[in-house]
Structure 1
Amino acid sequence: MKIKTLINLYLTIITCFLTIISCSQKKVHYEDLYENGQLKETMITYHKEKITKRIHYFKNNQISFVQVYKNDSTINYDTYYKNGQLEHSERRIYKERPIGKLLKYHKNGQLEKIGEWDSNGKIGEWNEYFEDGKLARFGNYKDYNKIGEWVYYYENGQEWIIENYLEGGIQDGDWKRFFEDGKIMFTGEFQLGKRIGMHTYFFQDGSIESIYNYNNGLLSGIHKSYYQKNQLEEIGEYKENEKSGKWIYYNEDGSIEEKGNYENGQKNGIWKEYYEGKLDQIGNYKDDKRTGEWKYYKENGKFDRIVNY
């Protein structure tokens, strides 16, 4: 009888020991349910590795995301579409920063984005794709900053944007934009992060929309803008990013709308405004405000009245 009691006691001790070992290696923290009793979320902790795995579910029982923690910091994070297709996958290091390869997918299973992280941020080549698998953009990162040539595409495969960068994400070199049919939309140049030289914008028919000139990042020199039928819309000069000197604005039919002078970006001096090609009013501006005597004219060109400001 005593032997049997000792054996039972021994078996009880062994069972408890094994239970403790098992519980120390794996423990279900909790289960959360939807109102209908369906599983919503589970959280499992592996004590030996100090790892916690969190799994969240859609109402259709498909996994929504899987998040793995180690020492309270996320190390793996995967998300899914409701159809079960993997949407996003990344690995992380301490302080929740990603590391290693990142993958993201469209709902149809096609790869949407692929790239890599190190402890300083995004590195190396990063590619993005449209749902049909065609390339959407590509370029390289260094320490989380764009570097070298970056190219963006329309869904038809035509180039959309071409950018160039130096280390640190500094804009440099030729920059271009294109319409979807391949015609040029914009062309200009950067040097050490600043616009230089002529920057030209185009209408889709190939005619010029506007021309700006830059010196060390500041608007400088003659500027012109056009209506779509090659008709001049405005012409004037910039100095250190401000409108300066004589500016003339035109209507679409080629007639003058108004003209006058700028100082430090503000209207100053005599300005004339026109209606259907005829003088409509004339007077002085001071620091962008009308001042003194302004003369107004009727549609037939005859003098109408004087207003003082």
Structure 2
Amino acid sequence: MHIQKIFFLVLLIIPSLVLSQTNQLDAQGKKHGDWKVYFEGTKNPRFEGRFEHGKEIGEFKFYKKGFYDHPAAIMNFEKNKDSVNVTYYTQKGEPISNGKMVDRKREGKWVYFHQASDSIMMTEQYQEDKLNGLQQTYYKNGKLAEKTTYKGGEKNGTSLIFAENGQITRELNFKAGKLHGKATYFTPEGEKTMEGFYTEGNKSGIWKYYTEGKLVEEKEY
């Protein structure tokens, strides 16, 4: 009987010991140790992870309100680094995208996935949360669909659009987000349909139009 009473008391104490080890503050009032925060008025998790004197460390799981079977995002914080590796997920736990963030801004290479698939849909380069560098988009079969250069969040430089068979259908140039420079258009079979120049988003100069590969019309803009 005495042993049973002791066992019963231990069962009562264990939950309080577990609770006492989470959501704690250090001597300076900073979060320290394991934390688990719930949506207000519920027992549904909002996020969970570990702090070291106010700084996130290791894996953090974040949940979307109403969906708790899988995290909406998982962030991995490295000690003594400002960057964090991030993966976003669908409600079914399938990856949507992953990459790096610095001060909550996307930085470097980001990868996006086709729906219900682990095949890559798009890769992008970021600098301070703005597209900066090469963006490449892919068909589900892995073939390239688009290849465009960005600078400061805007299209800048060459942009190539591909048909699913690999044929270039549009060869364009951009400057500060607007079509600027030579532009050539093709059918998916590789026949040229038109070519000319853009100046700050508008057609300029002489444009040539083709049918079945033969020049049929010229227009001056």
Q: Same fold (TM over 0.5)?
A: yes
2 CA distance for matches of 1:139 and 1:191?
20
Query: Following TM superposition, by how much is the alpha carbon of 1:208 offset from its aligned partner in structure 2, in angstroms?
Result: 0.6
Q: Which residue of 2 is the match for residue 283 of structure 1?
A: 196
- Structure 1 stretch displaced more, 247-256 or 154-163: 154-163
Structure-1 separation of matches of 2:47 and 2:151: 37
- Residue 272 of structure 1 corresponds to 184
| Structure with bigger gyration radius | 1
Contact 1:223 1:238 in 2 (8 A): yes
Q: Is the 8 A contact 1:219 1:238 kept in 2?
A: yes
2:156 to 238, 244, 248: 244
* Alignment correspondent of 2:217: 305
Write the distance in 1 (CA, Å) between the matches of 2:153 and 2:121. 20
Residue number in structure 1 paired with 2:85: 174
How many Å separate the matches in 1 of 2:203 and 2:155?
Answer: 18
Q: Where does 1:1-309 land on structure 2 (aligned, <5 Å)? A: 126-128=37-39, 135=44, 137-139=46-48, 148=56, 149-152=60-63, 155=67, 157-163=69-75, 173-203=84-114, 204-276=116-188, 277-298=190-211, 300-309=212-221
Deviation track 1:165-222 (CA, whole Å, cap 9, x = no partner) reads 9xxxxx9512211234543221011112321111110112211111111123332121
In 2, are the aligned partners of 1:246 and 1:260 still within 8 Å (CA)?
Answer: yes
Give the distance between the partners of 1:162 and 1:221, measured in 2 at CA. Answer: 26
For residue 296 of structure 1, give the secondary structure of its aligned residue in structure 2. strand
Percent of matched pairs sharing the same residue: 25
Higher RCO by CA contacts (8 Å cutoff, separation 6 or greater) = 2
| TM-score (norm. length: structure 2) | 0.67
Which residue identity is paired with 2:46? R
Runs of at least 5 residues in structure 2 that lack an aligned partner in the other structure: 1-30, 50-54
When normalised by structure 1's length, the TM-score is 0.49
CA distance in 2, matches of 1:177, 1:218: 18
Matched position secondary structure for 1:261: strand
Residue by residue, what CA displacement relative to the aligned partner does 1:124-171 show, whole Å, maximum 9, x if unpaired?
853139x9x7x453259xxxxxx8445116857233322579xxxxx9
User: CA offset at residue 236 of structure 1?
Assistant: 2.0
Query: d(CA) in 2 for partners of 1:164 and 1:247?
Result: 34
Shift of 1:267: 1.4
* CA RMSD of superposed structures (Å): 3.0
Contact 2:134 2:147 in 1 (8 A): yes
The CA distance in 2 between the partners of 1:270 and 1:240, in whole Å, is: 22
The DSSP-based 3-state class of the residue aligned with 2:142 is: coil
Spell out, residue by residue over 1:77-126, the C-alpha distance to the aligned partner (whole angstroms, 9 max, x if none): xxxxxxxxxxxxxxxxxxxxxxxxxxxxxxxxxxxxxxxxxxxxxx9853
- Given residue 282 of structure 1, which amino acid in structure 2 is its aligned partner? E
Q: d(CA) in 2 for partners of 1:150 and 1:158? A: 9
SS of the equivalent of 1:159 reads coil
- Alignment: residue pair count: 173
Structure 1 range deviating more: 238-247 or 150-159: 150-159
Q: Secondary structure at the match of 2:165?
A: coil
Question: SS of the counterpart of 2:184?
Answer: strand
